[in-house]
């Protein structure tokens, strides 16, 4: 198997294998019903030549909650070790990490008890992107999954809601969709939480239907932002709007429908601070990093 050693490796049910070798049966429950749970995690190259994962325990704990809800056994310590082993096997430093736990085969029915359970981790090298273009946000015609129907965890099936909103936003010429509830309150974007700045004060939009983002919690702690419900009207009148998430990091928003924002100076500061922290350049936040 020497020829395959340079091929990317994935963790699949307890071992590292070449990325194209595992096969899931076509009757896989998660493929039919979305009965799986995933995470989106990042690792970064650090100044000492190594790499570190940002807030790995928090990501794995959120994944455990989703797994528990689906009746999937989930060992946080072993699942976390698999993340680190996959990164090492692929020699990845700046990477996006995708763990997935899912229900496999055993029945085509909805009772999950007879089903096999699986776990995988894929890692993908990411570009170190410099401050990109600010995104144009459009209010979605879709509502977010209500928490009373589907808890805001990273359950696979729930992301069909994000896929529809993203598709609609792109078709209408926007970069990203903003979910707003029936009362006009801001929920979140398809894969990121929302912040605003007004007269120098920073607010993180809170909503029961929004994912409790780990980047959001990080920025609330760093900036002292107030976490509270925000109406769409209030957001439109903000001086700056930004969204944040593991993949998005801290992303400035250029416009919301026809409302245009300025050049987002505070957002750029938070973006730079976040970039230093995740790369280990801020020793007082080293507790958020797990060395690979
Ligand atoms: N909301 C949604 C719907 C998401 O998918 C994500 C990405 N996980 C976020 C918010 C941001 O969460 P985090 O900062 O934990 O990545």
Give the HSE-up count for residue 19: Cα atoms under 13 Å, Cβ half-sphere: 11
Which residue in this structure is represented by tokens 């001086």?
Answer: 239
Phi-psi region of 14 (alpha: psi -120 to 50; beta: other; left: phi over 0): left
Shortest-distance atom of ligand 1 to CA 216: 14
Give pLDDT tens digits for 239-257.
999 999 999 999 999 999 9
Which residue in this structure is represented by tokens 């809800």?
Answer: 69
pLDDT at res. 193: 98
Give yes or no for residue 155 CB within 6 A of ligand 1.
Answer: no
pLDDT < 50: residue spans in the chain: 1-4
pLDDT at res. 22: 82
Distance CA(64)–CA(60), nearest Å, equals: 6
Query: Residue 3, SS3?
Result: helix
Q: Where are the beta strands (DSSP E) in the chain?
A: 9-12, 15-18, 36-38, 41-45, 51-54, 95-103, 117-125, 135-139, 176-180, 186-189, 193-198, 201-205, 226-228, 240-245, 249-256, 259-260, 289-291
- 6 CA distance to ligand 1 middle (Å): 32
- CA-based nearest residue to 16, from 135, 122, 144, 133: 122
pLDDT at res. 175: 96
The residue contributing the CA closest to ligand 1 atom 7 is: 191
Q: Where are the beta strands (DSSP E) in 27-113?
A: 36-38, 41-45, 51-54, 95-103
What the block records as the tokens of 258 is 């026809």
pLDDT at res. 4: 46
pLDDT at res. 127: 75
Q: What is the ipTM of this complex?
A: 0.99
Give pLDDT tens digits for 184-220.
999 999 999 999 999 999 999 999 999 999 999 999 9
- Global model pTM greater than 0.90: yes
Neighbours of 56 (CB within 10 A): 24
Helix (H) / strand (E) containing 85: helix 76-89
pLDDT at res. 2: 39
- 2 CA distance to ligand 1 middle (Å): 38
Give yes or no for residue 188 CB within 6 A of ligand 1.
Answer: yes
- Please, are residues 41 and 53 in contact by the beta-carbon 8 Å criterion? yes
- CA-based nearest residue to 119, from 157, 86, 95: 86
Give yes or no for residue 213 CB within 6 A of ligand 1.
Answer: yes
Distance CA(11)–CA(72), nearest Å, equals: 17
Rounded to 10°, the helix 56-70/214-223 angle is 140
pLDDT at res. 21: 87
The residue contributing the CA closest to ligand 1 atom 9 is: 192
């Amino acid at each position: 198997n020497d020829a395959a050693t340079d091929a990317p490796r994935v963790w699949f049910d307890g071992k590292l294998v070449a990325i194209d070798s595992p096969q899931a049966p076509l009757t896989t429950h998660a493929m039919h019903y979305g009965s799986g749970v995933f995470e989106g995690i990042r690792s970064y190259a650090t100044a000492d030549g190594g790499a570190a994962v940002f807030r790995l325990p928090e990501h794995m704990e959120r994944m455990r909650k989703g797994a528990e809800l689906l009746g999937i056994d989930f060992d946080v310590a072993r699942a976390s070790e698999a993340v680190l082993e996959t990164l090492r096997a692929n020699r990845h430093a700046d990477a996006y990490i995708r763990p997935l736990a899912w229900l496999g085969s055993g029945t085509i029915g909805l009772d999950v008890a007879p089903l096999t359970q699986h776990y995988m981790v894929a890692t993908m090298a990411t570009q170190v992107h410099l401050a990109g273009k600010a995104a144009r946000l459009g209010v979605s015609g879709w509502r977010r999954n209500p928490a009373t129907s589907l808890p805001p965890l990273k359950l696979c099936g729930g992301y069909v809601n994000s896929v529809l909103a993203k598709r609609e936003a792109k078709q209408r010429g926007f970069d990203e969709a903003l979910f707003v509830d029936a009362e006009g309150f801001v929920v979140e974007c398809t894969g990121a939480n929302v912040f605003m700045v007004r007269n120098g004060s920073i607010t993180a939009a809170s909503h029961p239907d929004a994912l409790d983002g780990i980047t959001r919690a990080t920025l609330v702690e760093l900036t002292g932002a107030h976490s509270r419900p925000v109406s769409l009207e209030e957001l439109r009148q903000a001086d700056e709007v930004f969204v944040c998430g593991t993949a998005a990091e801290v992303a400035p928003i250029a416009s919301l429908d026809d409302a245009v924002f300025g050049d987002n100076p505070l957002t750029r500061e938070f973006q730079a601070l976040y970039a230093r922290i995740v790369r280990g350049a801020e020793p007082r936040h080293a507790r958020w990093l797990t060395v690979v």
